[in-house]
Amino acid sequence: MTLETPSLETAIARHLAHLRALGYTPATLASRAWHLDLFRAWAEERGATRLDELTPALVARWQRHLSRHRKADGQPLGSNTQRTRLSSLRMFGRWIARERLLDADPVAELIMPRVGHPLPKGWLSAAQAETVLALPKLDGRRPVPALRDRAILETLYSTGLRRMELTRLTVPDVDFAGGALLVRQGKGRKDRVIPIGERALAWVEKYLADSRPQLARCGDEAGALFVTEQGAPLTVSHLSALVTRYVTRAGFAKAGSCHLFRHTCATLMLEHGADIRHVQEQLGHACLQTTQVYTHVSIRKLKEVHAATHPGAKLAPRSEAKNNRNDTLADNAREGSVSA
């Protein structure tokens, strides 16, 4: 142990600087900083301000605090939320040990909460998706942003892109000849090329010809694909609000906005016979297990197969059921006469 132990605040700042040097994304850094600041503020309220006061007992108390904490609506923190906050602390503990700021990792004894693999919260049927897509009014008072909105909705529905991935698209990322999109720096900072349907491409092409030139700033012909009415690149929050507005107007009580179309894309592809590994590539999942959750939600196709193949799946027609009852009565009568 060093002779002069730094404060928790100083150690956390050094840890975040280390992560920044390793190339972690700004979003990940912001998330880690927030989680660790929550812990630091909680620890300081209990008199633990120095790094050497970060003990396994204090970590255990923090974990109990998270499990008992209630949000503003009175609901407990979800297991995934607890696990995410504890993961940031666990990474901090490992860094402490590597840097030899303490004799041992004070977070090493932490046992992470178990989490399940919940089904996606919602998805749209093909008919519901078409209802949402038809809502932007190209003949209304604001045809320019309406055309942009239609192109956005079509792209989300066709590709299943994450909202961050869509906001990062640039004009050159659209390959009209090849019918594909170049997705740059997706989750895990991975690039990938995915197909986009002819219809979505047609709407994007119309948007680029008739709408984007009126929205984008001069000289920004190769910039962000989708822009605001002020010509700035579309942000994640702006995109979420835009998609949520259309889903709400359609009358569907569905949560998730952009992710709703991601779930819809995956579910409908599987229902119509897509191989799960192809869906994995489309969504950019690093692990097949993440994609497999959609095999549980595409129940409609399974029901059709079950009804067509299981001999006991359907009720017998009324006339057939009546004949079966008559046959049973006749059999019982014959058995009775024989025994008599």
Query: What distance in Å separates the CA atoms of residue 131 and residue 251, rounded to the nearest whole number?
Result: 10
- Establish whether 18 is a catalytic residue: no
- Establish whether 187 is a catalytic residue: yes
The catalytically annotated residue of 14, 83, 187, 238 is 187
Nearest Cα to Cα of residue 128 among 298, 271, 249, 281: 249
What sign results for the dihedral spanned by CA atoms 58, 63, 67, 72? positive
Query: What distance in Å separates the CA atoms of residue 172 and residue 170, rounded to the nearest whole number?
Result: 6
Strands 180-183 and 192-195: antiparallel
Q: Are 6 and 51 in contact (CB under 8 A)?
A: yes
Helix locations, 69-188, DSSP H: 79-99, 126-133, 143-159, 163-167
- Establish whether 259 is a catalytic residue: yes
Distance of CA 15 to the CA centre of its chain: 28
Distance of CA 286 to the CA centre of its chain: 13
Query: What distance in Å separates the CA atoms of residue 126 and residue 199, rounded to the nearest whole number?
Result: 14
- Establish whether 272 is a catalytic residue: no
The catalytically annotated residue of 32, 148, 162, 254 is 162
- Establish whether 24 is a catalytic residue: no
Cβ neighbors of 259 (< 8 A, separation 6 or more) are: 120, 162, 163
Nearest Cα to Cα of residue 65 among 88, 94, 85, 90: 85
Element (H, E) at 181: strand 180-183
- Establish whether 294 is a catalytic residue: yes
The catalytically annotated residue of 15, 148, 259, 263 is 259
Distance of CA 335 to the CA centre of its chain: 65
The catalytically annotated residue of 35, 148, 262, 263 is 262
Element (H, E) at 194: strand 192-195
Residues labelled as active-site residues: 162, 187, 259, 262, 285, 294
